[in-house]
């Protein structure tokens, strides 16, 4: 949790650095640390909350490849936040990391005033359903209270901008398909007008944050945008989620846990495609609107695991592990496990011209290759607290 991150690399004459302390307390534990926050001027930066996480870090990397403006990465660095994801751009003059908590209202206000962002892209959230079932406190705090703080401070900041800045400013809130609940076989996919019916503490906390965003637009006129995406996969995903967990465990010859009968269905979206969609919404989306983002690829959990096993078999590794499918074990189903999600992404395709570039097959090849080629990253994130979580949650050693 502690450490200076990468701010210490930028000790230039235009930057001011000073230490700060933070302590986060809750019934699920206490986290404390020391970091640094700094400042140096950028032209037209955006502020990304949760930018050291899986989707946030992929978004920042893509933004700096494709866009000209700068990025302020505002992240608390919980267990799933990793600055190694962004090591390749740590010294880029258009990038700065700020270590802080979105629930810290005074600090959020200071960051907005210092950096003067033209937009906020709000990824920061607790996102793992299993963790929300075991301990919902952090989900309520970050996803609901944190979004409230970001909206309140964004509203005050936006209200004091000059006319041109007010016209340009956007608050883009990144959400999930899980707010819509569960679909039966053959039912049409979720669309932007589907009624909310969240079934897990995680989904309920995201639904609450979505409603807050909507309310701040309709009540206060804050120029908001909301995206609801399907299951993402790709590089840098923390291996508590199905695809990276299966890849990591298959390579190590560890059990591959599958909930229940393995027939729960999800729509799968490669993370780079998701990031492109967010950029499209930010630049061309209609203020106050919601856009569903999906990969148009429905797969059961068991199909996902078998796809990884087949790919690992083709690599001709340890013969004792062939076929990798023999590592599959079925474990007790998750409480309240939604049976099926599917997304109708026709609105964003029709209005903004976005469509995923990757097929499921090409996205999986890229994902599996990345995890196999990044052993050091995997070793770092699968030590310590991760091993304790896996051992407790699945009653097996990862």
Which positions are catalytic?
177-178, 202
Q: What's the angle, vertex CA 105, arms to CA 6 and CA 284, rounded to 5?
A: 75
Are 120 and 49 in contact by the 8 Å Cβ rule? The answer is yes
- The whole-angstrom distance between residue 361's C-alpha and the CA centroid of its chain comes to 22
- Dump strand ranges (E) for the chain: 16-26, 29-39, 46-49, 71-75, 95-99, 119-122, 170-176, 224-229, 231-233, 256-259, 265-270, 290-293, 298-300, 328-331
| CA–CA separation, 126 and 133 (whole Å) | 12
In what side-by-side order are the strands of the sheet with 119-122? 95-99, 71-75, 46-49, 119-122, 170-176, 224-229, 290-293
Identify which of 389, 333, 362 has the alpha carbon closest to the alpha carbon of residue 78.
Answer: 389
Are 139 and 205 in contact by the 8 Å Cβ rule? The answer is yes
Distances (CA, A) of 35 to 8, 121, 360: 10, 22, 39
Q: Is 274 helix (H, G, I), strand (E, B) or coil?
A: helix
Tokens of 39: 């400042």
Residue 261 burial (CB count, 10 A): 11
Q: Is 266 helix (H, G, I), strand (E, B) or coil?
A: strand
Tokens of 371: 């995890």
| CA–CA separation, 229 and 9 (whole Å) | 35
| CA–CA separation, 384 and 398 (whole Å) | 11
- The single residue listed with the structure tokens 């006129």 is 221
Identify which of 290, 269, 296 has the alpha carbon closest to the alpha carbon of residue 352.
Answer: 290
| CA–CA separation, 36 and 164 (whole Å) | 32
Are 173 and 227 in contact by the 8 Å Cβ rule? The answer is yes
Q: What's the angle, vertex CA 212, arms to CA 210 and CA 213, rounded to 5?
A: 65
């Amino acid at each position: 949790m502690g450490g200076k991150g990468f701010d210490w690399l930028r000790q230039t004459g235009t930057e001011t650095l000073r230490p700060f302390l933070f302590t986060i307390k809750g019934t699920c534990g206490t986290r404390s640390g020391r970091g640094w926050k700094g400042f140096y001027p950028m032209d037209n930066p955006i502020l990304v909350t949760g930018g050291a996480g899986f989707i946030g870090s992929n978004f920042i990397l893509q933004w700096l490849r494709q866009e000209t403006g700068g990025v302020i990465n505002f992240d608390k660095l919980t267990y799933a936040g990793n600055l190694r994801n962004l090591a390749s751009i740590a010294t880029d003059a258009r990038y700065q990391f700020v270590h802080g908590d979105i629930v810290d209202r005074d600090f959020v206000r200071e960051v907005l005033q210092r950096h003067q962002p033209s937009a906020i892209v709000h990824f920061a959230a607790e996102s793992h359903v299993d963790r929300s079932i075991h301990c919902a406190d952090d989900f309520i705090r970050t996803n609901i209270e944190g979004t409230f703080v970001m909206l309140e401070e964004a509203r005050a900041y936006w209200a004091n901008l000059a006319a041109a800045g007010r016209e340009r400013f956007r608050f883009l809130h990144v959400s999930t398909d899980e707010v819509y609940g569960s679909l039966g076989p053959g039912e049409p996919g979720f669309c932007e007008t589907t009624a909310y019916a969240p079934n897990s503490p995680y989904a309920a906390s995201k639904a609450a944050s979505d409603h807050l965003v909507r309310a701040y637009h309709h009540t206060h006129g804050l120029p908001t945008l909301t995206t609801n995406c399907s299951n993402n996969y790709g590089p840098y995903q923390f291996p508590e989620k199905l695809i990276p967990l299966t890849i990591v465990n298959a390579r190590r010859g560890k059990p591959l846990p599958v909930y229940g009968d393995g027939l729960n269905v999800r729509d799968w979206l490669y993370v780079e495609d998701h990031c492109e969609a967010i950029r499209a919404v930010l630049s061309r989306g209609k203020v106050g609107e919601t856009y569903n983002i999906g990969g148009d690829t429905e797969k059961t959990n068991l199909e996902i695991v078998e796809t990884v096993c087949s790919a690992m078999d083709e690599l001709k590794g340890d013969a004792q592990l062939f076929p990798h499918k023999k590592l599959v074990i079925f474990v007790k189903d998750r409480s309240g496990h939604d049976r099926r999600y599917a997304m109708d992404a026709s609105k964003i395709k029709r209005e903004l011209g976005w469509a995923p570039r990757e097929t499921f097959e090409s996205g999986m090849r890229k994902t599996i290759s990345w995890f196999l080629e990044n052993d050091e990253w995997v070793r770092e994130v699968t030590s310590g607290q991760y091993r304790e979580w896996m051992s407790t949650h699945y009653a097996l050693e990862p």
